Structure 1
Amino acid sequence: MMGSNDSDDGNDSNDSADPDSIDGVDDRVFERNAGDRGEGVPFVGAGPGDPRLLTVAGKELLEDADLVVHAGSLVNSELLEAYCDGADLVNSVGKDLEELVPLMRDAYEDGRTVVRLHSGDPAIYGAALEQMDALESEGVPTYFVPGVTSAFAASATLRTQLTLNEVSNHVAFTRPQGKTLSEEQDHVSEFVGMGDVTTCIYLGTHAVRETMDRLLEDGHDPETPVAVIYHASWPDEDVLLGTIDDIAEKVETAGYRASALVVVGDAVTGAGYERSYLYGDWANSGAADTTDEAESTDD
């Protein structure tokens, strides 16, 4: 990508890039953009749930596919019905790499159009890269197609921004400790403690009680706003609003153990922000412009 001071000739920018400047960077980084249709098997983000939140690129790829390997119930069946009518569907749940990779490789080598469909965005807590590396080792090229991650759907549902001037300058995508993450790798408390961070906790619905208890033990304000958005953008979407002190009880009462995003921070309410510099003087400048026009008309 070129900055504002770069040459207008995209080839100049690519020619000057050194793919060996960082060990392990694939040469193809400099050959295609994220929106380009590539060669091989695309790893497509299905978005948060609503079929209309699938990207145009994802929709086109699914409609052309002969085989779609999808993430089971994490992908809305309505999306599969809407865009995968002409494809064979394979649920990846319960299948390991030793089964999935040969399946996709053989289909691709047989000339079939294969799509690997992940929930949300495959770059956020998706085990996409290990599948892609395995396919590449078998001679099958792969590429990413971004999707809308659930944090963005949650933000839209809450009618707020994840970043708000003088409220939240940063966003953290994280997960709580558990089988995958050790206690030392759990940084939820650190993010919340920074004060101006909107902390989006993935894969933690089952651990809301434990996570909130740790935040209270660490001395965080019990009145800090928390939202739990179950199945963001799905037909059965549900929103639970509370605080660090009481959100666990609300989640337990609702009976949710999975498929919800937890958002912690003052941005949840969408209140208390300062007007940005971008639009800070719009009212005054508008009034001045009107006065100037009136004076000009009277001349």
Structure 2
Amino acid sequence: MSGDAETDPQTAIDAVTNDQDERVYEHSAGDEREGIPFVGAGPGDPRLLTVAGRELLADADLVVHAGSLVNSELLAEYCVDAETVSSIGKDLEELIPLMRDAYERGETVVRLHSGDPAIYGAALEQMDALEHEGVPTYIVPGVTSAFAASATLRTQLTLNEVANHVAFTRPQGKTLDEDEDHISEFVGMGDVTTCIYLGTHAVSETMDRLLDDGHDPETPVAAVYHASWPDEDVVEGTIETIGEKLEAAGYRASAMVVIGDAVGGEEYERSFLYGEWANRSSDESADSTGEADD
């Protein structure tokens, strides 16, 4: 791809305006539509791919996927008739013309991201660049690794009187400055389940910062390595111990780290959903402006 104004991906990003795309009002997330779908592959297990994603892969001529972040079993099972190309090591200047040219040749193209494209997926810059080239795009949601980790841990990320909020975050490092790291703030709120992406390599340093900030060293922490993959492993500990345990296990990547009292699924209160709230009169229900607590 050349670097002129017509094809430079940064030009496409800079050209984005605040005007709402009319397709927002014409389609919902599950609709079939024209263009290149950006499909969430889910956390790993091929069975956790959505039905929509499976159907799109079955019809694809070209699948550009996220390399080893997508389970090879999923590719083998659902992409039998498609050419598969890993996006690892390729920049936008290579990926955009690859997908654009295939689409313009009449091929059915699928861009396959790990987890859900909306969570640390860098999908939008690819979509904007393709749209700038005249190629329509859309997102097909997937199951993010935090949800797979929650299922493995047999708990909820939100629990009545334990965790009212969930934070999806990442630690400081090469792509996130120190003042942009809010993990300590989330943990300090007390009723937040903090899910750390892209931070397996920095768990010890992250926990040391939490201890330095005065957080309870006994706060539960679980690290789920390769959630839903065949080699999934669970390392449980606390803010004080999880770093050492994870290092002993030898994991430096691909673990979802979950911090908070919801990790153990203990000491929560019965919700209103299946109690007196559910038995209110129809008049009371009609007056309600919100939904039942979960």
Same fold (TM over 0.5): yes
The 3-state SS of whatever aligns with 1:278 is coil
CA deviation string 1:99-130 (max 9, x = no partner): 00000000000000000000000000001000
Alignment partner of 1:131 is 2:126? yes
Work out whether 1:195 is the aligned partner of 2:168.
no
Q: How much has 1:281 moved relative to structure 2?
A: 4.7
Please point out which of 42, 48, 54 is paired with 2:43: 48
Aligned to 1:177: 172
Q: Is 1:101 the equivalent of 2:89?
A: no
Partner of 2:215: 220
Distance 1:50 1:117 in 2: 14
**Deviation at residue 26 of structure 1 after TM alignment:** 1.5
Equivalent residue number for residue 5 of structure 1: none
Match of 1:252 in 2: 247
Paired position in structure 1 for 2:59: 64
Q: Give % identity.
A: 81
Equivalent position of 1:262 in the other structure: 257
* Residue of structure 2 in register with 1:75 after alignment: 70
Alignment partners' CA distance in 2, 1:33 and 1:281: 35
Q: TM-score, normalised by structure 1?
A: 0.86
Q: Look up the match of 1:243.
A: 238
Q: Structure 1 residue aligned with 2:141, among 146, 156, 167?
A: 146
AA at the equivalent of 1:255: G
Residues 233-281 of structure 1 show CA distances to partners (whole Å, capped at 9, x for unaligned) of: 0000000000000000010001101000000000000000000011235
Aligned: 1:113 with 2:105: no
Gaps of 5+ in 2: 1-16, 281-294
Counterpart Cα distance in 2 of 1:212 and 1:30: 44
**Given residue 245 of structure 2, which amino acid in structure 1 is its aligned partner?**
K
Q: Does 1:160 align with 2:155?
A: yes
Q: Helix, strand or coil for the counterpart of 1:200?
A: strand
User: 1:201 and 1:259 mapped to 2: Cα distance?
Assistant: 11
Give the letter for the 1:175 counterpart.
R
Tell me the secondary structure at the aligned position of residue 167 of structure 2. Answer: strand
**How many Å separate the matches in 1 of 2:53 and 2:28?**
15
Alignment partner of 2:34: what SS?
A: coil
Q: CA deviation at 1:25?
A: 2.3
Deviation track 1:153-200 (CA, whole Å, cap 9, x = no partner) reads: 000000000000000000000000001110000000000000000000
Q: Which amino acid aligns with 1:119?
A: S
How far apart, CA to CA, are the structure 1 residues paired with 2:150 and 2:248? 23
CA RMSD of superposed structures (Å): 1.4
Q: Over residues 35-71 of structure 1, what are the superposed CA-to-partner deviations in whole Å (9 max), with x where a residue is unaligned?
A: 0012110000000000000000000000000000000
State the match for 1:6 in structure 2.
none
Who is 2:81 aligned against?
A: 86
For 2:150 and 2:102, the matched residues in 1 are separated by 38
For these two proteins, the number of residue pairs brought into alignment is 263
